[in-house]
Amino acid sequence: MANEPQIQQDDEVMLLNMGPQHPATHGVLRLVLALDGEVIRECTPVIGYLHSGFEKTYESKKYQQCVTLTDRMDYLNPLGNNLAFALAVEKLLGVEAPPRAQVIRVLLAELTRIQSHLVGLGSNGLDLGASSPIMYAFRDREMLLDIFEMVSGQRMMTSYIRPGGLAKDIPPGFEEAVQRFIDYFPEKLDEYHGLLTRNPIWMDRMVGVGKLTAEQCLELGVTGPMLRAAGIPRDLRKDMPYSGYESYDFQVVTRTESDCYARYLVRMDEMRESLKIVQQALNRIPDGPYVLDDFKHAYPPRQLISDQMEALIHHFKLATEGYRVPPGEVYSAIESPRGELGFYIVADGSGKPYRVHVRTPSFTNLQCLPVMAKGGFIADLVNMIAAIDPIMGDVDR
Amino acid sequence: MGVEEKLPGSLQVIVTKLANWGRQGAIYPLTSGLACCAIEMMSASMGRYDIARFGSEAFRATPRQSDLLIVSGRVSMKMAPVLRRLYDQMPDPKWVIAMGDCASSGGVFNNYAILQGVDRIIPVDIYIPGCPPRPEMLLQALQTLKMKILHEGDIHGRI
Amino acid sequence: MAASEGLLQAVAEAIGDGLLATDEDRAGAPILVVERGSLLKVCRLLRDGEWGFTHLSGVWGVDYLAMGLEPRFAVVYYLYSPSLRSRVAVKVPLEESDPVVPSVVEIFPTANWHERETFDMFGIRFEGHPNLARILMPDDATIHPLRKDVPLGGEEVEFTHNAERIRRQRAAESPEVSRN
Amino acid sequence: MPAQYLPIAVLFWTLAAFTLVILALTRLLGPYHPTPSKTIPYESGMTPLMPARRRFHVRFTLVAMLFILFDIEIVFLYPFAVVMRQLKLFGLVEVLAFVLVLLVGYFYLWKKGAFDWE
């Protein structure tokens, strides 16, 4: 098979599958390892075990139906995926979401980033045998899932951010719930620091493991926390701001050692920065419409349909054939918890996208695993995978 | 399956009931998270929903030690033979829960890449709707499975 | 984008008639439609030139069959310049008869898996790629799914009116699933 | 004389009986349907690329032997520790001689390079 590492078959090397079903591969990733005792000579990732034909399915769905598909790609960053798709379609339509929607989008995208890092941190600890961090991480994550459920009715697959604005307005009690989380979370972060950061076993297993030089990261097109851990302050929220990010003040967290420990610390500090953004966003949620109210892109509210003929026509058009997007193509990317998440959409003027390609961060970041793993031990391979934090739905699309 | 086959007449019914009662006490699931439902499966085994109350918190890494295969996520065509092999490598008695729409029927993905329902390749005991199903639904599925095991008849179907 | 005027002239000088057309995508990034012979030269120019397009976001293909555009396939390269904070796209139109394009793995090593995925999805071959094999589809797959002439696949959905027929068909085709 | 060793015999026989009974029970009562696909070795869901029975580097056996050697040494120290008070100076000298002998072996191994892994 083309995927087996091409090495000469001397008796010293053993080929082993760290296969699709493995507790430490964060999903259905398969690694074909050429082992010399415990040292990894060659590590070849084989992916595709969760290939779900997203890009082909997009082509047969209307624009508003595609939103529900975007949730299922990077299932730890549903709102981020919705936001990336919504921004791309809005650029095609040449419209902007109303200010209220933009602020709420930033707020929810940052909460999703915290939630995604919590799962990444928890499973990183679980991979290395520390089974308590994941318990604490999921306890805090449940509070975030309650907020998402309050906003959209669904814990994970929210489909809440749609082209043109939001699905519904935020319910009463949303601000208090977010404020409660903002006051509650920083001390929990310190709890994680106390639990893990200075823990001798944790440092022995993480410091100096999976080193990548900055040039290797740039060459392999790595983006996100892994690149920032190599000392390169590249963050799309700062470089190419979208949805109003330029008006929030937050730091781009970087380290220089570029090993697993640095990536862990970057993710921990990023959660603190996200919390600052959430606080600023919460303080400035403006009033006004939560969606473009020309009803060409979003369903008009229920009560308007009964008494306004025009709203009824819009509703009927949207329900049957969806809104038409003028022909053209666009590539717009956001900063997902794993890196640059970009949607490339070609529109042919009909109600369905002609071609949607998603540039996902995990797919590209996973390419540096063979470079990192060569010469290391199997035990270190486990926490290199956790440091890349790949989501297989993101990789295999 | 096992001791029940070897015993004569009415004694077999009693022993089967006893065996069923023993088997449903602690069902060890296999750690095989496929996609989004796996994250909800993890939430179900964490503090808030706590699958440990039903004896299933020990997610075994290998099929050799697990009794229950929770198919949590969409099964792609590339993953189908692997899943069948995992199911075969589990010792008897074994059960399967198809968690979520994608495992039960292909769900949102009616296309070339996804197996339209995992019951095409392995016999499924419990189907859970939802995308992803809430952790409580997974716990209720576990309860239903326990009821099913309790009333599982011996090979002569006398329960 | 301020950079685009200087950029277009420089590229036009560098490859002359290799630059077939220029366009712009809805986010304002210029699109250079380039003939495949001068692709590598353009990529090197963009990367090492004064604009510093050092980050290749990705490589993917587009099949224009249903849109009726003449050169059926196109391979799209999106480059990003951290210093200018702007993007540029390079598009290489390919005939259906020989969808082959030189591989840019030497210039941008990140393109390795992207090109394998484009080959897997479209059947576009990349000359000089170290290990051009399928990456997402099963290895014994024969179709290139993202081509417009390949159907979406999947099955007819069962409703009350056709459930009976479909179940009979399926029972006939696939045997009962054995427990062991 | 044999009465003194009775407890050891009882211990040995109960252990042997206990294991044999367990093995017999599982063999008799447990369901046993070895289908071909069930008996192939488990390798994360894939068919194994290479048979697991392979020749390994000698250093693995070396480490195992050295471990057993020094582990038995520690086991002998346990009974000594129990009666250390009664044995007074004589016991101490005795055990030091014992440890010294093993220490010589330890340094010999160290110099021969048995401990460095590459």
Query: What is the residue whose two structure tokens read 């996520």?
Result: B73
Say how many domains are in chain D: 1
Does residue C76 contact residue C52 with C-beta atoms inside 8 Å?
Answer: no
Measured CA to CA, the distance from residue B72 to residue B57 in angstroms comes to 16
Pick the residue from chain B with its C-alpha nearest to D25.
B3
Q: Is A216 inside any structural domain?
A: yes
The span from the first CA to the last CA of chain D, in angstroms, equals 52
- Measured in angstroms, the CA of C136 and the nearest CA of chain D are apart by 17
- H helix or E strand, kind and range, residue A99: helix A99-127
Q: Residue D30: its pLDDT value, please?
A: 76
- H helix or E strand, kind and range, residue A318: helix A309-321
Instruction: Say yes or no for a CB contact (<8 Å) between A346 and C87.
Output: no
Measured CA to CA, the distance from residue A121 to residue B30 in angstroms comes to 22
Q: Is C10 inside any structural domain?
A: yes
Q: What is the CATH number of the domain that holds C55?
A: 3.30.460.80
**DSSP 8-class letter at C109:** T
Residue ranges making up the domain that contains C122: 3-143
**DSSP 8-class letter at B151:** T
Instruction: Say yes or no for a CB contact (<8 Å) between C154 and B111.
Output: yes
Classify the phi-psi angles of B107: left when phi > 0, otherwise alpha if psi is within -120 to 50, otherwise beta: left
B chain contacts of residue A337, beta-carbon cutoff 8 Å: none
Which comes out higher in pLDDT, residue C110 or A2?
Answer: C110
Q: How far is CA C5 from CA A223, A393, C2, C51, D45, in A?
A: 28, 40, 7, 12, 55
Residue C108 contacts A where some CB pair is shorter than 8 Å: yes
- Measured in angstroms, the CA of B92 and the nearest CA of chain C are apart by 9
A chain contacts of residue D54, beta-carbon cutoff 8 Å: 11, 14
Instruction: Say yes or no for a CB contact (<8 Å) between B2 and D29.
Output: yes
Instruction: Say yes or no for a CB contact (<8 Å) between A330 and C62.
Output: no
- Which two structure tokens, joined as six digits, stand for D80? 């000594």
Residue ranges making up the domain that contains D20: 2-112
Sequence spans of domains, chain B: 27-145
Per-residue pLDDT of chain D in tens (118 residues, 90 and over written 9) = 678 889 999 999 999 999 999 999 888 877 778 888 888 889 888 988 888 787 777 888 899 999 999 999 999 999 999 988 888 888 899 999 999 999 999 999 999 988 887 7
- Give contacts of C 6-35 with A, CB under 8 A: 25-27, 29, 31
Q: Which residues contact B39 (CB under 8 A, 6 or more apart)?
A: A75, A76, A119, A156, B33, B132
D chain contacts of residue B66, beta-carbon cutoff 8 Å: none
Q: What is the CATH number of the domain that holds A204?
A: 1.10.645.10
- Measured in angstroms, the CA of B111 and the nearest CA of chain D are apart by 24
- Which two structure tokens, joined as six digits, stand for C64? 């224009």
Sheet holding B126-128: strands in order across?
B68-72, B95-99, B126-128
pLDDT digits (tens, 9 = 90+) for A271-290: 999 999 999 999 999 998 88
Q: Is C158 inside any structural domain?
A: no
Query: What is the residue whose two structure tokens read 């679980």?
Result: A126
Q: Choose among B120, B124, B125, B130: nearest CA to B100.
A: B130
Say how many domains are in chain A: 1
Mutation target vs D (from C177, C178, C180; most D CBs, 10 A cutoff): C180
Residue A42 has pLDDT above 80, yes or no: yes
D chain contacts of residue A15, beta-carbon cutoff 8 Å: 49-50
Q: Is C75 inside any structural domain?
A: yes
Q: Is D79 inside any structural domain?
A: yes
Least confident of A65-79, A267-281, B3-17, B98-112: B3-17
Residue A14 contacts D where some CB pair is shorter than 8 Å: yes
Q: Residue A362: its pLDDT value, please?
A: 95
Rounded to two decimals, the pTM is 0.90
Q: Is D41 inside any structural domain?
A: yes
Measured CA to CA, the distance from residue D75 to residue D118 in angstroms comes to 30
Residue ranges making up the domain that contains A121: 54-396
- Which two structure tokens, joined as six digits, stand for A254? 């970087």
Q: Is A345 inside any structural domain?
A: yes
Q: What is the CATH number of the domain that holds D77?
A: 1.20.58
Q: Is D117 inside any structural domain?
A: no
Instruction: Say yes or no for a CB contact (<8 Å) between A2 and C134.
Output: yes
Residue D85 contacts A where some CB pair is shorter than 8 Å: no
Residue C29 has pLDDT above 50, yes or no: yes
Fold category of B27-145 in CATH: Rossmann fold (3.40.50)
Measured CA to CA, the distance from residue C100 to residue C77 in angstroms comes to 15
CA B8, B90, B128 angle in degrees (round to 5)? 100
